[in-house]
Amino acid sequence: MVMKKVDLRSDTVTKPTEAMRAAMAIAEVDDDVLNFDPTTRRLETEMAMITGKEAALFVPSGTMGNLISVLVHCDVRGSEVILGHDSHIFIYENGGISTIGGVHPRTVMNNKDGTMDIESIEAAIRNKNFEICYPTTRLICLENSHANSGGRCLSVEYTDKVGVLARKYELKLHIDGARLFNASIALGVPVHRLVQAADSVSVCLSKGLGAPIGSVIVGSKSFIAKAKILRKTLGGGMRQSGVLCAAALVALQENVQKIEGDHKKARTLAEGLNNIKGLKVDLAAVETNIVFFDILEEANITAQKLCNILEEHDILLMQDKPKRLRIVLHHQISASDVQFTLSCIQKAVNGVSQGNGRS
């Protein structure tokens, strides 16, 4: 019997549901480069409506969504983007905005809650009177929810303030909204209101929404027109993309309502971990589906060793640092999976002899 893996490495690991596969099989498709694929257009129309933006564009990944967005806003040589020192764009996207786009990053420290101090953002904006030396600031990037802060949510009030600052200096605002639906559900704020201040947003379909592939960038019609050309330049123009978008449409119908449950499972897991001697969780940081936990010295086990022990029980986690691990909940993790994981971690950390332990 093949044991089901409890895959907690990320919310990017979900498999397409039967409903998604059925929709993919019968999707109405056409060439989305030569004209438009009807199913892709349906998804883009739906996402523009949900986010309150004029237009949308389906892209293969969140990394490409962010890259295209930054490069459209910073289309002049010598451009600079202000972004968090712990942002996904700065840390995990191979420096693409610079290596491909020639855009200069200007990092501002992220606070524990994923925000950047407004004053620090303003201080980082270049003085145009010294352009003989300075790059030109053209864009500010936020990330909501903020992955490396543990999935913390940026409030609509904060986002609006950054929007006011951007407009004050005639800058654009992009939001990396890979987990925007998680932030919306956690805050109880509609998606369109949460991103109202943004000129562009990149939303992942392949994370908490559970679609197998893709992201959507949204913005003005002129922004999306430029983005579509740049997507083709980067090799992201897809032909019958409706096969993929059909699954994403199912995800929008079926999985948004499951996100709150993911957050509850994350909370249960976080509280359970925090009750295990030798482990520490910042419970205040657990606002959505991501849980970071630290292994204390008294536990006398490394993150890698714990990952290895858990893998023997078909539980997969991602190591963040030598004594820190990350767990990401998604709709294919059950409440019993959470309890089984807690039980296995308890035994591994407390050094209890390992049985399979699985009911």
Ligand X SMILES: Cc1ncc(COP(=O)(O)O)c(C=O)c1O
Ligand Y SMILES: C[C@@H](O)[C@H](N)C(=O)O
Q: What are the distances in angstroms from CA 200 to CA 67, 205, 310?
A: 12, 16, 40
Q: Which of 206, 241, 255, 289 binds ligand X (CB under 6 A)?
A: 206
For β-strands 315-316 and 6-7, DSSP reports them as: parallel
Binding partner at 287 among ligand Y, ligand X, none, C-beta below 5 to 8 Å by kind: none
Residue 176 touches ligand X, criterion: CB under 6 A? yes
Binding partner at 204 among ligand X, ligand Y, none, C-beta below 5 to 8 Å by kind: ligand X
Buried b (16+ CB within 10 A) or exposed e, 203-227: bbbbbbbbbbbbbbbbbeeebbebb
Show the site string, 11-30: x = touches ligand Y by CB under 6 A, - = not: -x------------------
Distance CA 87, CA 15 (A): 26
Q: Let me know: does 50 contact 251? Beta carbons within 8 Å.
A: no
Q: Which of 6, 8, 10, 243 binds ligand Y (CB under 6 A)?
A: 10
Buried b (16+ CB within 10 A) or exposed e, 4-31: eebbbbbbbbbebbeebeebbeebebbe
Question: Which CB sits closer to ligand Y, 41 or 326?
Answer: 326
Q: What is the DSSP string of 216-283?
A: EEEE-HHHHHHHHHHHHHTT---SSTHHHHHHHHHHHHHTGGGHHHHHHHHHHHHHHHHTSTTEE--G
Residue 331 touches ligand X, criterion: CB under 6 A? no
Residue 143 touches ligand X, criterion: CB under 6 A? yes
- Find the binding residues for ligand X in span 185-204 (CB under 6 A): 204
Q: Which of 50, 59, 141, 147 binds ligand Y (CB under 6 A)?
A: 147
Question: Which CB sits closer to ligand X, 236 or 272?
Answer: 236
Residue 147 touches ligand X, criterion: CB under 6 A? yes
Residue 149 touches ligand Y, criterion: CB under 6 A? no
Q: How many residues form the binding site for ligand Y (CB under 6 A)?
A: 4
Residue type for 271, please? E
Show the site string, 73-112: x = touches ligand Y by CB under 6 A, - = not: -------------------x--------------------
Binding partner at 206 among ligand X, ligand Y, none, C-beta below 5 to 8 Å by kind: ligand X
Residue with tokens 């997969």: 316
Residue 62 touches ligand X, criterion: CB under 6 A? yes
Backbone phi, psi, residue 331, to 5°? -70, -10
Residue 63 touches ligand X, criterion: CB under 6 A? yes
Task: Name the nearest CA neighbour of 144 among 105, 101, 68, 89.
Answer: 89
Residues at the site binding ligand X, with contacts judged by CB under 6 A: 12, 61-63, 66, 88, 143, 147, 176, 178, 204, 206, 215
Residues at the site binding ligand Y, with contacts judged by CB under 6 A: 10, 12, 92, 147
